[in-house]
Structures are given as C-alpha cells and as structure tokens.
C-alpha cells in the first residue's frame, strides 16, 4: 500500500477506524470476531489503527490491547481523550487533570508504554484549548504519547492549538457527502503540515451501496447512532437515495465497488488526506484496502463532485444537540 505522512509517522494511505467493533452501530461483533478482523487487517498490511476511550467506554481500547499488544512494533496506534463514558453517559471533559488520568487509563487498556498519536476527541468549550493542548504537550514530554491530534475542530482552533504544540493530525468526518472540511480546515492542515484523517469516509455505509431502502433504516438497532442523524430520516433519506443510481453507475463504469469509489475520491483530495474506514466485515475490509491502488481519471472525479456535494445532499450531518458540541465550520 502507498504510504502517507501521519505526523512523524509513515503509514498506509488507508487505516482502520475501530469504533464499530465496540460502539455506535448497534450490537457490536463478539470480542473474538473483533479480534479476528484486527489481526486480518494487520496481515493485510494495515499499520494505522484508530481507537478512543469513548468507544465502548474503554472496551475498544481493551480489545486492541488484548489483540495487538504483541505486534505493537508493526503499527501506529492512535487513540483519543477528552470525551469518555462516565457512569454510563458520554461526557466531554478537556480539563488537564482529566486528560492525564484518561491517558494513564488508556495506556493500561492498550497494554502499551506509549500512544503514538493522541487526539483531543472534542474541544471542551469550557476549557481554553490552549490548556488542554498544554496538558497533552506535558504527556509528550513524559514519553507517554508521541504526537498530538485534534478532532472535529475549526481552522481557527487548530491554529490556536498549533501555537502551543505542533499538531500532527486533525480527524474529522469527510466524504463526498460531508464537505465541511473544505471550508477551511483541510487547507489549514496542509499549510501547517498536519495530516487530515477522514472518518466516516463512506458516509456511514451510505456510499458503500449497502443502504438502498428506507426499510433498512427503519430496522436500525436501537443503539445505532444513525437513527438520530437527519440524513437517514424520512424525506432527507428519500432524497439522498436518488443520488445512488448515478453513483452506482459510475462505480460500474470504472470497475470498482461503490466503497472503493468513495475512498479513491478521498485519496485524490490531497497527499495529506488519510481515510480510516471502519467495518465489522473482513470481506469489506479487504475491499476497502484495495481502494489504495485506485486512481480515478479527472473526468470521473468531476462527475462525482457534481453528483454528490453540499447542494445535492439533503439534511445536516448531525442533530442540533450534537452539532452544538463540535467546532467544525458549517455551510
């Protein structure tokens, strides 16, 4: 697989987002199934694994620790702090003492002496970002983390943080149907030499062609976070479905799967862009990784841009309550 820069590290252009092995999309796979997928990813050359304290309220970090600790030298390990589970509830807390405690907990769960890339998962707007980054910088000095990242922040917040300590990466949702990064932060990352790590690069399954009927959405499990996302609801989803016929036709013309088309488009957006698709399926994992070798012709890229964009996609990406918690620029 081609390599790209992730802060001080060189990693494969496509990494693995591990969230849905423990969190967010209904009942997760068994720990044994999750471990099998992680090991298959490692065998296929994946060397960038992305987790967080939030995912499964520690369960995802523990899964990676149990499964991959003995292979620690073979991959770059990314995790996140600042948004965790407290008494069964999701809590955003960016206070320096909380971040340091969370790091100690993460190191134990991950069964490692150092986390390669540690993100502030959410900027706690009650705490100056400079204070949170200052605490993470102290963790760098102590050798507990190697590099600092930010998640779901604006270009302005990125620059404030970068003035305290170099920021290696920003992680934010980015795909054909979520273009907010193009407002400012994608370019700010390029200017500052930070990687842009794109989560949900196949639009939470939509651009993989797996969701073609409103009945599938209605059947989402209770804990599936897409149930609350406007783009998957009622009239918005019906409107978005109309994009899939032409999108699937482009995939067939180019000889790639819809997911590979979405990932290849992302890889074309800049050498500093690294998608981290997640999956619970080994077959989908193998399919996704093959996208690293796909090069789309300029005319195909233009057609994709014209078809799926901020004007053609119906509905905001988050409900209002979630949107209020994040710092990304909005159209």
Length of the chain: 331
**Which of 75, 73, 53 lies closest to 63 in space, CA to CA?**
53
Question: What would the DSSP string read from start to end of 54-104?
Answer: TGGGGHHHHHHHHHHGGGGGGSEEEEEESEEEETTEEEE---HHHHHHHHH
Tokens encoding 106: 């993460």
Count the Cβ atoms, other than its own, within 10 Å of residue 181. 23
Scanning the chain, the segments in alpha helix (DSSP H) are 31-43, 59-68, 96-110, 129-141, 155-164, 185-192, 214-218, 234-241, 244-254, 258-267, 282-289, 298-307, 320-323
Whether 55 is catalytic is yes
Q: Check 55, 118, 119, 318 and give the catalytic one.
A: 55
Helix (H, G, I), strand (E, B) or coil at 45: coil
**CA distance to 124, 140, 157, 302, per residue, from 327 (Å):** 10, 24, 8, 29
Residue 53, phi then psi, degrees to nearest 5? -60, -30
Question: What would the DSSP string read from start to end of 115-157?
Answer: EEEEEESS--TTS-HHHHHHHHHHHHHTTSEEEEEEES--HHH
Would you please indicate which residues are annotated as catalytic (active-site) residues?
A: 55
């Amino acid at each position: 697989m081609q390599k790209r820069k992730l802060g001080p590290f060189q990693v494969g252009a496509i990494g693995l987002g591990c969230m849905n092995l423990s969190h967010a999309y209904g009942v997760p796979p068994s720990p044994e199934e999750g471990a099998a997928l992680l090991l298959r990813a490692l065998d296929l050359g994946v060397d960038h694994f992305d987790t967080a304290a939030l995912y499964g309220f520690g369960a995802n970090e523990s899964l990676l620790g149990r499964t991959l600790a003995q292979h620690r030298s073979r991959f770059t390990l990314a995790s996140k702090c600042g948004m965790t589970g407290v008494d069964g509830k999701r809590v955003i807390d960016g206070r320096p003492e909380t971040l340091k405690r969370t790091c100690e907990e993460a190191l134990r769960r991950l069964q490692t002496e150092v986390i390669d890339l540690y993100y502030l998962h959410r900027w706690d707007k009650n705490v100056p970002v400079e204070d949170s980054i200052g605490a993470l910088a102290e963790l760098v000095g102590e050798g507990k983390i190697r590099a600092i990242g930010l998640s779901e922040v604006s270009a302005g917040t990125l620059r404030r943080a970068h003035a305290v300590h170099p920021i290696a990466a920003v992680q934010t949702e980015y795909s054909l149907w979520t273009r907010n990064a193009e407002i400012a932060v994608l370019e700010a990352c390029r200017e500052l030499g930070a990687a842009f790590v794109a989560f949900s690069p196949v639009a939470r399954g939509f651009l993989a062609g797996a969701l073609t009927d409103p009945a599938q959405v209605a059947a989402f499990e209770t804990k599936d976070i897409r149930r609350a996302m406007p783009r998957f609801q009622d009239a918005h989803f019906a409107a978005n479905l109309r994009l899939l016929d032409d999108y699937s036709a482009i995939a067939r013309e180019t000889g790639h799967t819809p997911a590979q088309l979405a990932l290849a488009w992302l890889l074309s957006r800049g050498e500093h862009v690294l998608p981290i698709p997640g999956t619970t399926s080994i077959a989908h994992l193998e399919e996704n990784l093959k996208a690293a070798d796909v090069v789309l012709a300029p005319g195909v890229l233009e057609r994709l841009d014209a078809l799926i964009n901020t004007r053609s996609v119906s509905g905001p990406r988050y409900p209002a309550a979630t949107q209020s918690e994040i710092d990304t620029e909005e159209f």
